[in-house]
Structure 1
């Protein structure tokens, strides 16, 4: 399944396209016919994966039952220090906290798409066409910022251009990320990190460029592997990937079984929490990328860009495993795989495919984590935890301004509490790890609402008279 996915190619206008090619077109094209053709082209590569996935699901369930679980979904849900069914209810509770804001964003974006493309392409009511949102899976919508940007408000700087103008190269990008962690009191990265990491794409061989972080010896041999480009996206990614490395090193003295994150959502959230500071104009000013942080008039464009990635992701982060849980439990049979996938995408994301899907389509297989068998709820949790960490950290440093402008760069006292949580690894249930840093024992998505409050209020005004929901 993995190799079918990773070698997937399709024909478009006489050219053979890979996923990377298709993603570029979805990000940049504003021609709905081309978007549909490329979207359908990539999804066609997943059809051959379905028979293998049916076999895989049966074998996986067999293994899970051998371990005493009713199915693979229950096995996955058992990793969160609570009853598997209670965990499913917990994710529902968190989703309900953020769902109203997502619906507000969906309503605004749909209206902007309708203004651009007209009723024939995107109606002003009902679901959004999944190929119009700038991303193959519509999991992040930042690529269509030009279509939905707030009228009359613009950003005075481009992080992409700032990095180039200030002479950043890939090594300086990573050094800047390291400097953030050092500023909150963490030890510098070892010399071996710089000698052994892959920071740029090698010229002598083919590599997987998907950014990742590695701990080779369970001690100090930590590395990143990415084809770093000098742009704002990779500036964030560097801060994120290093979060994995600092976490890995922090729990190196734990017994072997506890050398892991408090749960898998924590491991993703650590670097994302740092990334929230790293994208603020406050931090960019602190490290000399801009001379003066812009005023409140630029808050809405900034928050819109953040929401198009962070908020748009939440329902997708939830529904991928919802589908798999239904498959593993037998609730959804192979004949209904695709139908169930789109039922969930409609329910959670408010999306529909650009046209009727073929009877033999297997659209879940067009997302890497399904054929790659990587659980996905961790990413949903990380998108909640990172804001909870951020709010707690900003309270600790006595920040009085809006949350989206808070940077914890240089805050060593906060860093000590943060590192205390990291050093625990998986040695205690995750609520105890959470409490060590935040003082709270339950996950709380109200921090997301606090962060985006100005944008939510603005969206409510923009959506007046619209028929929100789907």
Structure 2
């Protein structure tokens, strides 16, 4: 999934409202002079746009040419931006935003006021920024040893088998001999596997259970324990910042941006509507995993151990499609070979993506885009390759950074990033504070809605990349929907529970953080740790968004909202039939609706945008479109699960004992090592 990049100096505003009345949580001053407030906002817009340009340009130079020479000016600009943010908040807090007559000016002031971190004293503000930077550095530098061997130790017997090409395992020695290296030069030279790409690749493609367990556990050993104390101090500081700004805690400050006094209940109501679909998918996947790994790894009616689902956090299951494909004799949809046969290049892929949007009557990208973007990996430069779209805040310069390869996955990513660029172009005339999505979820939701029309059998046929002449269309369609469900439906409970956990920590404190994390994983995902966990492990620290101070509920909302947006685009295009077969390519009516969604930016609340989008039918997010999209797959899953005694999972005392009891670290380590050793033995004997 790509990302949208734009330097923002405030929190984004609004999602939808169950209640029209909005509680004013943030601090406000006593100055009621609307003229002075308007003058302040004009000056802020000019200065914020210039600051945003300088910071974004410095960041661009660094990530497209990673050198110490480029790092220093980036850090200097970020420091200036932080000072500007704090100064702007202190000026804005002098005004009584509720008494400003102009509603758009009132909205802009509110956005600045809700940026409550600026309320900290200077020393604590600096400490908070330093803590976040340290946690990011620890996370990004985490490395583990390869699973396959421990070199330079001739005293440990090796067991070689037909797995030699994949590595070898230990069988005749107690597990304590198979320890990670101490941090010596030998360690740094050999133990250099990082999350991306090596560890992620193993979790996605290895089918050796003991190897999956090894990388899952060891990555957490290199992150959580080092981050735990820092995160505890981070919680203290962000809570203090929130209280200083008029909130009860930092979680309430996050939720206030969505303008719903019952936000937690509202989002949980949305989540509950997709639970039946998730449990059908979960039950089917568990059975196929049980067939692959057996009862030594999981129970046929229990939760799924987290390391078996193809992803470090069990949040995206698409990598195990080979284990769960409904119809293996029918192909999965992948047009990479056809793209290669037709001589596609990265440039052609971006031109194709631009034409997708201009065919709907939307704006072409400006010439600066083609001159400035990094569309392929440059030679002899160190670059950060995560696909992202960039707004340089000057209404001229927009770019994409992507190390594009000629694959179907990158073709979809290209259309996704170009959707972000289209969003930038559509709201370019808005003030700086309004140049963002209608709420934090909208940018991703709209970009993903567009790609639902691109990664689509009908569309791929229309553009000449897919021909389905010899295969059963129903089987191909179910395979396609399974791929989508492993990415979208499987993600929903994880995206929902991350901030449920974070808000709990902000409210209840830092005691039993790890226990609470796994309680929520079990409750919402049906996922358990494969080995015992204690409070010293701090497994939430293995998720970057948590330690880097990035909210996560927006990803849950975006995944729900993308299907709602897509369905409305299909209605505008006059498309009926199955939702997963809708293609809005070349529909000017769909383009006009998409423009209506994007042009206001965040100058209107999300509830207003949704009301416009649905022609007045609702102003709330709804999962009904998502459920309709996956209806054919859900019916198929119900048939597959009809012999199952339980759709969902039973929780046993053994499951709870993995994380619920306070166990001293030495005992836990011994038990953990014993379990992993037994897994290593089983792998050699029975693989």
Using the size of structure 2 for normalisation, the TM-score is 0.66
- Equivalent of 1:28 in 205, 216, 219: 205
Task: Give the deviation of 1:221 after TM superposition.
Answer: 1.1
Q: Deviations over 1:370-405 (max 9, x none)?
A: 111111111101111110011111122221221101
Name the structure 1 match of 2:428.
Answer: 252
SS at match of 1:444: coil
Q: Deviations over 1:222-274 (max 9, x none)?
A: 11112222222222222222222211221111122211110011111111001
Name the structure 1 match of 2:220.
Answer: 43
Q: Do structure 1's residue 412 and structure 2's residue 625 form an aligned pair? A: no
- Which whole-Å CA distance do the structure 1 matches of 2:489 and 2:332 have between them? 23
Q: Do structure 1's residue 368 and structure 2's residue 368 form an aligned pair? A: no
Q: Which moved more, 1:427-436 or 1:312-321?
A: 427-436
- Rg larger for: 2
Q: Do structure 1's residue 461 and structure 2's residue 639 form an aligned pair? A: yes
Q: Do structure 1's residue 19 and structure 2's residue 19 form an aligned pair? A: no
- Equivalent of 2:143 in 1, 6, 9: 9
SS at match of 1:55: helix
Name the structure 1 match of 2:490.
Answer: 312
Name the structure 2 match of 1:347.
Answer: 523
Q: Deviations over 1:269-323 (max 9, x none)?
A: 1110011011101111121212458733321111000000010000111111111
SS at match of 2:400: strand
- Which whole-Å CA distance do the structure 2 matches of 1:325 and 1:160 have between them? 42
Pairwise CA RMSD of aligned residues? 1.5
Name the structure 2 match of 1:65.
Answer: 243
Name the structure 1 match of 2:628.
Answer: 450
Matches for 1:59-458 after TM superposition, within 5 Å: 59-83=237-261, 86-151=262-327, 154-155=330-331, 157-291=333-467, 295-329=473-507, 331=508, 333-439=509-615, 440-458=618-636
Task: Give the deviation of 1:67 after TM superposition.
Answer: 1.5
Task: Give the deviation of 1:163 after TM superposition.
Answer: 2.2
Q: Which moved more, 1:139-148 or 1:62-71?
A: 62-71
Task: Give the deviation of 1:151 after TM superposition.
Answer: 3.7
- Which whole-Å CA distance do the structure 1 matches of 2:512 and 2:337 have between them? 47
**Do the aligned residues in 2 keep the contact of 1:130 with 1:354 (CA within 8 Å)?**
yes
**Do the aligned residues in 1 keep the contact of 2:390 with 2:399 (CA within 8 Å)?**
yes
- Which whole-Å CA distance do the structure 2 matches of 1:232 and 1:77 have between them? 37
SS at match of 1:213: strand
- Which whole-Å CA distance do the structure 2 matches of 1:385 and 1:157 have between them? 24
Q: Which moved more, 1:73-82 or 1:271-280?
A: 73-82
Structure 2, gaps ≥5 residues long? 1-134, 151-189, 650-687
- Which whole-Å CA distance do the structure 2 matches of 1:207 and 1:49 have between them? 26
**Do the aligned residues in 1 keep the contact of 2:515 with 2:534 (CA within 8 Å)?**
no
The 3 A distance-change label for structure 1 pair 181 and 89 is same
Task: Give the deviation of 1:435 after TM superposition.
Answer: 2.0
Task: Give the deviation of 1:153 after TM superposition.
Answer: 5.1
Task: Give the deviation of 1:202 after TM superposition.
Answer: 2.5
Misfit runs of 4+, over 4 Å: 291-294
Task: Give the deviation of 1:165 after TM superposition.
Answer: 2.2
**Do the aligned residues in 1 keep the contact of 2:327 with 2:479 (CA within 8 Å)?**
no
The 3 A distance-change label for structure 1 pair 60 and 34 is same
Task: Give the deviation of 1:156 after TM superposition.
Answer: 6.4
SS at match of 1:61: helix
The 3 A distance-change label for structure 1 pair 39 and 334 is same
Using the size of structure 1 for normalisation, the TM-score is 0.96
The 3 A distance-change label for structure 1 pair 206 and 152 is closer
